[in-house]
Amino acid sequence: MGMGMEIVFLCEQYPPIIWDGAGVYTHDIAHALVALGHRVHIVCAQGRRRTDEDHDGVLVHRRPLLRLPVGRYLGRVARPVQGANHPRDSLSLRFFLAVSYAFWLRRLGLRPDVIETQDGETRGLRTALRRDVPLVIHLHTPTMMDVRLREGKLHGRGALADRLDRFSALRADARTAPSELIVTTLRDFGWLKKKTDADVIPYPFDRSPYAEVVPPQGTDPVLFVVGRLEWRKGLDVLIDAAARLQERGVSPTVVFAGQSSGVIDGVPTGTWLERRAAELGVSCRFAGHLSRPELVKAYEEARVVVVPSRFESFSIAGLEGMASGRPVVATKTTGVATWVAKWEGGTIVPPEDPQALADALEPFLTDPELAATVGARGRVGTAELEPRRIAELRVKVYQKAVDRHRSRRRLGRARPRPAQA
């Protein structure tokens, strides 16, 4: 590895197109790997763009998603076919993702030492089938997990979509996860076999964009939440907690940064949350998607950062909150809870418990000095996840995948051929 490895990531969320968990992770680890002397390509099959960009040494290849607009052609006929969980359980999307990434990898002529992609959908399906390149699957959060958490079991098209997602993870040469929580949960669901190994490596985190955020003493009682507006994020529980705080004479403003995703009771999640807040008289602001500079400013205006999720494999927002010097209140069903507790950068509460959430938030809302003291501890702690250190851990996994791939190929060649009759 003296000359470095060539690594290809398959990720359509790579910034600045989309700043979400998968995109931010891919961005930060890619740049850290380049700093270590490795060659990194990102293939993004998304939209209609066709560009090749050099992002400070990270080579980003944006290519169109090769997709037929089935819904547009079929119109109303497509709606019952798509079902209530569309697009999460979309088999056509999985097909087009598999075809698109296989096609563009071939056209770009990339011959990497290793390919990495995440568990949701079928970006790495061609590689998993052919096993011609070492494959690493990052266990972020399988696409169908929201449905599984809500309904307990998957049926029909959803079960088939989940099996397709799981296939690549089980065929991969190595698997990684940002927390022990996601590994345990996937094993409990039967998504990972009991003996299937997964290396737990936390997300890399570049805290420099938040270094200049001033402490929270001068802030109003603002609760800040970052992420898609969806049922799994527990945002309804936070609104109920805010209503309980108001009954105690504490009147916070809840700011949501993120786009609506999915439905609650048949209503788009963002609309449902607005109605629920109005019904309870809770002051809320829906900021929508924020750019990185806007996000930094929003952290500066917050008193507390909240991660109320029913489940989250990690939570980049929790790290961003601590790096901004804000106390973080997170549920124990989030991967970041381990780090909040370790650094004493906030409070951990059970999920789906508005009373416990209100109790944890109240001291920070009524005492800005306490918020600043706790926030300062978390800010110091985030240095532990410095990107270069995390990148070095990932390179060890890539080398393990390469070694396993070579061993598998040697065993395949060594197998005796059946005797001819």
pTM (two decimals): 0.86
Which two three-digit tokens encode residue 210?
Answer: 């938040």
Higher pLDDT, 362 or 82: 362
Q: What is the DSSP string of 159-211?
A: HHHHHHHHHHHHHSSEEEES-HHHHHHHHHTTSS-TT---EE-PPP---GGGT
Contact 104, 110 (CB under 8 A): no
Cα angle value 99/400/40 (rounded, 5°): 55
Confidence of residue 417 (pLDDT cuts 50, 70, 90): low
Integer Cα distance of 315 and 335 in angstroms: 7
* List of domains in the chain: 6-75+85-204+387-407 (3.40.50.2000), 208-383 (3.40.50.2000)
Out of 87-91, 172-176, 246-250, pick the least confident. Answer: 87-91
Whether 79 has a pLDDT exceeding 60, the answer reads no
Note the pLDDT of residue 83: 58
Residue-wise pLDDT for 255-283, tens only, equals 999 999 888 888 999 999 999 999 999 99
Integer Cα distance of 50 and 32 in angstroms: 25
Integer Cα distance of 310 and 234 in angstroms: 5
Integer Cα distance of 25 and 27 in angstroms: 5
Note the pLDDT of residue 421: 45
Whether 16 has a pLDDT exceeding 50, the answer reads yes
Omega within 30 of 0 (cis) for the link into 87: yes
Q: CA distances (Å), 39 to each of 112, 126, 138, in order?
A: 9, 22, 19
CB-based burial label for 79 (10 Å; 0-12, 13-18, 19+): exposed
**Which alpha helices (DSSP H) does 302-367 contain, by range?**
316-323, 337-343, 354-366
Residue-wise pLDDT for 24-65, tens only, equals 899 999 999 999 999 999 999 988 889 999 999 999 999 999
State the average pLDDT over residues 139-149: 88
Higher pLDDT, 406 or 21: 406
Q: What is the DSSP-derived secondary structure letter of residue 287?
A: -
Note the pLDDT of residue 18: 66
Q: What percent of the chain has pLDDT over 70?
A: 93
HSE of 40 in the Cβ direction (CA atoms, 13 Å)?
A: 26
Residue-wise pLDDT for 334-346, tens only, equals 999 999 999 999 9
Contact 128, 171 (CB under 8 A): yes
Whether 2 has a pLDDT exceeding 70, the answer reads no
Residue-wise pLDDT for 363-373, tens only, equals 999 999 999 99
Note the pLDDT of residue 238: 98
Note the pLDDT of residue 411: 80
Confidence of residue 302 (pLDDT cuts 50, 70, 90): very high
Note the pLDDT of residue 1: 43
Integer Cα distance of 405 and 413 in angstroms: 13
